[in-house]
């Protein structure tokens, strides 16, 4: 089964965030609770943990891209 990973809303006023870094590459195994990527907002850089275990199948954005909340940024193929 495939799961879409979306840009999370980290605060009440957040409408978008900047993808600061990927901590995994396409093809790598991802565990539930493992840091998948980092988001930069106006005030802070936050680590975002995976909510799924599986393989990172695709990423649709690169570090430095601004992404709207709830936009699909990656796909994980679940175990």
Tens digits of residue pLDDT in 56-74: 999 999 999 999 999 999 9
pTM: 0.90
| pLDDT above 70: residue 79 | no
For 30-57, the pLDDT digits (tens) are 999 999 999 998 878 999 999 999 999 9
* C-alpha dihedral sign at 52, 63, 38, 69: negative
Tell me the two tokens of residue 13.
Answer: 């006023």
CATH of the domain at 44: 2.40.50.100
Which residue is it, tokens 């005030």? Answer: 43
Do 76 and 58 touch, CB atoms closer than 8 A?
no
For 10-31, the pLDDT digits (tens) are 888 899 999 999 999 999 999 9
How far apart, in whole angstroms, are the C-alpha atoms of residue 42 and residue 75?
26
How far apart, in whole angstroms, are the C-alpha atoms of residue 41 and residue 56?
24
Do 17 and 40 touch, CB atoms closer than 8 A?
yes
Structural domain of 66? 2-78
> What pLDDT sits at residue 68?
97
What is the count of structural domains for the chain? 1
């Amino acid at each position: 089964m495939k799961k879409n990973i979306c840009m999370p809303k980290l605060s009440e006023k957040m409408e978008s965030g900047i993808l600061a870094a990927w901590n995994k590459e396409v093809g790598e195994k991802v565990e539930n609770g493992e840091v998948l990527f980092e988001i930069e907002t106006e005030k802070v850089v936050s680590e975002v943990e995976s909510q799924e275990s599986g393989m990172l199948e695709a990423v649709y954005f690169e570090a430095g891209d601004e992404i709207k909340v709830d936009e699909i940024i990656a796909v994980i193929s679940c175990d």
